Amino acid sequence: MKQYKGHGSRDRAVIVGGGFGGLNAAKTLAEAAVDVILIDKTNHHLFQPLLYQIATAALSPGEVAEPIRAIFRRQKNVLVIMREVVAVDKEKKRVVLNNKEAVDFDYLILAPGARHSYFGKDEWERYAPGLKTLTDALEIRERVLLSFERAEETHDAKERKAYLTFVVVGGGPTGVEMAGAIAEIAHKTMLGDFRNIDLAETRVILVEGHDRVLPPFTPKLSHDALESLQRLGVEVRLSTLVSNITADGVQVGDEWIMTPNIIWAAGNVASPLLKTLEVDQDKAGRVVVEPDLSVPGFPDIFVIGDAAHCRNASGVLPAMAPVAIQQGIHVARMIRRGLRGEDRIPFQYRDRGMMATIGRAKAVAQLGKTGFSGLLAWLAWCLVHIMFLIGFRNKVVVMLEWMRAYITYQRAARLITDRSRVDAQNS
| pLDDT at residue 1 in the model | 46
DSSP per residue, 264-324:
E-S-EEE-GGGGGG-S-B-TTS-EE--TTSEETTEEEEEE-GGGEE-EETTEEPPS-HHHH
Read off the pLDDT band of 4 (50, 70, 90). low
Q: Has residue 422 got a pLDDT over 60?
A: no
Measured distance CA(310)–CA(306) in Å, rounded: 10
pLDDT cut 70: percent of the chain above it: 96
The pLDDT tens digits for 355-370 are 999 988 899 999 877 8
Measured distance CA(234)–CA(231) in Å, rounded: 7
Asked if 177 and 267 count as a contact pair (C-beta separation under 8 A), the reply is no
Q: Across residues 112-125, what is the average pLDDT? A: 92
pTM comes to 0.91
Q: Has residue 7 got a pLDDT over 90?
A: no
Buried b (16+ CB within 10 A) or exposed e, 172-198: bbbbbbbbbbbbbbbbbbbeeeeeebe
Annotated catalytic residue 159: no
Q: Across residues 213-237, what is the average pLDDT? A: 95
| pLDDT at residue 179 in the model | 96
* Given the residues 142, 177, 184, 401, the one annotated as active site: 177
What's the DSSP call for residue 41? S
Q: Has residue 424 got a pLDDT over 60?
A: no
Q: Has residue 8 got a pLDDT over 70?
A: no
Out of 115-124, 336-345, 409-418, pick the least confident.
409-418
What is each CA distance from 45 to 50, 299, 406, in whole angstroms?
A: 12, 27, 27
| pLDDT at residue 405 in the model | 81
| pLDDT at residue 370 in the model | 85
In this predicted model, which residue has the larger pLDDT, 186 or 420? Answer: 186
Q: Has residue 21 got a pLDDT over 50?
A: yes
At CA 219, angle to CA 222 and CA 232, rounded to 5? 20
Residue ranges, CATH 3.50.50.60, the chain? 11-41+83-116+269-339
Work out the mean pLDDT of the chain and round it to a whole number. 91
Q: Across residues 205-229, what is the average pLDDT? A: 95
Domain topology for 11-41+83-116+269-339:
FAD/NAD(P)-binding domain (3.50.50)
Candidates 3.50.50.100, 3.30.70.2190, 3.40.50.12280, 3.40.50.300; CATH matching 122-266+360-426:
3.50.50.100
Read off the pLDDT band of 296 (50, 70, 90). very high
Count of C-beta atoms within a 10 Å radius of residue 155: 7
What is each CA distance from 248 to 128, 159, 163, 260, in whole angstroms?
A: 11, 10, 11, 6
Q: Across residues 10-37, what is the average pLDDT? A: 96
| pLDDT at residue 406 in the model | 76
Measured distance CA(368)–CA(353) in Å, rounded: 6
Q: How would you class 418 by CB atoms within 10 Å of its CB: exposed for 0-12, middle for 13-18, buried for 19 or more? A: middle
Q: Has residue 242 got a pLDDT over 50?
A: yes
What is each CA distance from 314 to 82, 214, 290, 350, in whole angstroms?
A: 37, 17, 16, 12
Q: Has residue 421 got a pLDDT over 60?
A: no
Q: Has residue 420 got a pLDDT over 70?
A: no
